Structure 1
Amino acid sequence: MIAAPLVIAPSILAADFAHLADEARAVAGAADWLHVDVMDNHFVPNLTIGLPVVQSLLKASELPFDVHLMIERPARWAPSYAEAGAYNVTFHAEACADPAALAKDLRAAGSRAGLAIDRDTPVEGYLELLPHFDTLLIMTIKAGFGGQAFLPEMLAKVRAARRHVDAGHLEVRIEVDGGIAADTIAAAAAAGADAFVAGTAVYGADDPAEAVRRLRARAAAAAGGTGAAGGPEVGR
């Protein structure tokens, strides 16, 4: 059962990188988080932005930053994003030998801790770790590139995670990332997701803020709630 307000997190991976500060401001007042994809050309084949850009962008937006690290050696780099002021820092289970220890370090550094599960990774082996985390990010595409088509078969992981979270009365966000748009967000919400990363569906629209509102309405209708934005503390 989803009790907390839904979270819509536009992904700047789909934004105009020449005007990132303006793109962040374009969704202010509508979005809950700003999703920032960090890719290192090792864990995934793409290369995006790193810590210096995130530090600069944090100064240009009051939205809570949802940093998604698609990188090798996250234990080396992740705490720096927390220290910089990111609200939530998520790293991949596949890249980390001791996810619980890194989650503890992230919380100590001032951020929420998120665990990401890629397309080909079963979620069951990580469910018992969820008490250490604030967010479970389930990829609904293969990590590494934006603009991919949503994979509905990934919703089985969302349903399994939702059952586990509800049965354990855990305060953990179940986030989905990949192909989230007007025609897919309802299915993700119905499966139990309560945080949604949307890239081209937001930044490919003429009015990004209005696109966020429409996505929220669709998700809320499917989840049976209002979906109202909850501000920075919506992460719980």
Structure 2
Amino acid sequence: MTAPAPIIAPSILAADFARLADEVRAVEGVADWLHVDVMDNHFVPNLTIGLPVVQSLLAATELPFDVHLMIEDPRRWAPAYADAGAYNVTFHAEASDNPVALAKDLRAAGAKAGLAIDRDTPLEPYLELLPSFDTLLIMTIKAGFGGQRFIPGLLDKVRLARRHADAGHLELRIEVDGGIAADTIEAAAQAGADAFVAGTAVYGASDPGAAVTALRGLAERSVRTT
């Protein structure tokens, strides 16, 4: 079976917030998703944007929103992002006491449900939950800050997730987030990832759209087949 086409999701965490709508439009037509990092200065030591900004951006683009909630108490807040129209809403396993119940709530609200695993969190305890999810987001850095260096050893989690998903015939996107660029995306694809969050590699480029296209070419060349 051929693997699904890779997803490239530029992260607006690396964009110029003073001209955010323009930055989003710069990747329209080439990006698959727009990755939106929501941080609350509690779960992670940083503060970004919240629901009102996401709602405004949703009205400004047709790109599907891949919302990554790095927040405490996601059960309280996550469904509102689904209600607002986000395509995929991902929350952290470390912040949830009942991930499956929240995944059901997100799907009921019309969104895909994603589970995120941070750098220091083992994947094994969550493998049996994966049939309840549409996306597994594996951090390849420590959650909370953009611009960090990719950690190759974390691809072991990607390999484990891919083996488990393939063995169970799961329709699961395996997404990687952190340090994804031209020199790392191929290794991530070869490990089994098929969705790629890229921040600085896109918005640090002179032409963000061209950067997305280049990353897609690298991923397509390297994505695994089973």
- Per the normalisation by structure 1, the TM-score is 0.94
Other-structure match for 2:68? 68
Inter-CA distance 2–165: structure 2 relative to 1 (3 Å threshold): farther
Structure 1 position 4, deviation (Å): 1.1
8 Å CA contact retained: 2:149, 2:179: yes
Name the CA distance, whole Å, in 1 between partners of 2:2 and 2:166: 9
The separation in 1 between residues aligned to 2:107 and 2:222, in whole angstroms, is 32
**1:21-100 matches, cutoff 5 A:** 21-100=21-100
Counterpart of 1:72 in structure 2: which amino acid? E
Asked if structure 2 preserves the Cα contact closer than 8 Å seen for 1:2 and 1:223, the reply is: no
The Cα shift of 1:82 comes to: 0.1
State the Cα deviation string for residues 186-219 of structure 1 (Å, max 9, x = none): 0000000000000000000011010001001111
Equivalent residue number for residue 131 of structure 1: 131
Residue ranges of structure 1 left out of the alignment (5+ in a row): 226-236
Partner residue of 1:229?
none
The residue number in structure 1 matching 2:120 is 120
Q: Which residue of structure 2 aligns with residue 205 of structure 1?
A: 205
Q: Deviations over 1:111-169 (max 9, x none)?
A: 00000000000011101101100000000000000000000000000000000000000
CA contact (8 A) 2:192 2:224 kept: no
Judge conservation of contact 2:116–2:138 (CA < 8 Å) in 1: yes
Cα deviations across residues 86-106 of structure 1 (Å, max 9, x unaligned)?
000000000000000000000
| Offset, 1:2 | 5.6
Cα distance in 1 for residues equivalent to 2:173 and 2:44: 24
Displacement, 1:220?
1.1
* Contact kept in structure 2, 1:14 and 1:199, CA below 8 Å: yes
Describe the SS at the equivalent of 2:193.
coil
Secondary structure of the 1:159 match is helix
The answer to whether the 8 Å contact 2:103/2:114 transfers is: yes
Task: Give the drift of 1:7.
Answer: 0.1
- Tell me, yes or no, if the aligned pair for 1:2 and 1:192 is still in contact at 8 Å: no
* Equivalences, count: 225
- Aligned equivalents of 1:7 and 1:91: distance in 2? 19
Q: Is this contact kept in 1: 2:202–2:212, CA < 8 A?
A: yes
Q: CA RMSD in A?
A: 0.9
Q: Letter of the 1:197 partner, please give it.
A: V
Question: Matches of 1:35 and 1:223 in 2, distance apart?
Answer: 20
Mark the runs of 5 or more structure 2 residues left unpaired by the alignment.
Answer: none
TM, length-normalised to structure 2: 0.98
How far does residue 6 in structure 1 lie from its aligned partner after superposition?
A: 0.6
User: Hey, what's the Cα distance between the residues in 2 that align with 1:34 and 1:122?
Assistant: 27
SS in 2 for 1:68: strand
Instruction: Give CA deviations for 1:69-97 in whole Å, capped at 9, x if unaligned.
Output: 00000000000000000000000000000
2:122 counterpart letter in structure 1:
P
The structural deviation recorded for 1:32 is 0.1
How far 1:224 moved relative to its partner?
Answer: 5.7
Q: Distance in 2 between matches of 1:19 and 1:162?
A: 38
